[in-house]
Amino acid sequence: MNHHQLEKDIEHLEQIIARLSGNDRIPLSYWRNRIESVSSANLVPSQVQRVKRLSEALGELETRAKERSSHDTVR
C-alpha cells in the first residue's frame, strides 16, 4: 500500500471510529478487519500510534456492544 493511500485510510478510520455507536449498519467486525489491514502495512512510528489508538477505541466499542448484548439476553 502506498504512503498516500495508507494515510487516507488511517484518516478515514479516525473519522469513522469517532462516530460509531455499535448500532450502525456496518458491524464492528468490519472496522476491526480494516484496522488490522492497515496495521499490517509498513507504518511509520506516528502511524503506529494512530492505529493503536484506533484499535483501542474500537475495542472499547466492542466491549460496550458485548455488555449491551449480554444485558439484553438476561432480560
Long-range contacts, 3-7 (Cβ 8 Å, 24+): 6/38, 6/41, 6/43, 6/47, 7/47
Contact partners, residue 9, CB within 8 Å, separation at least 6: 1, 34, 38
Question: What is the pTM for the complete model shown?
Answer: 0.87
pLDDT tens digit sequence for 22-74 = 788 899 999 999 999 999 999 999 999 999 999 999 999 999 988 887 776 65
Q: Where are the domains of the chain?
A: 3-74
Given a contact cutoff of 8 angstroms between Cβ atoms, the answer to whether 5 and 47 are in contact is: no
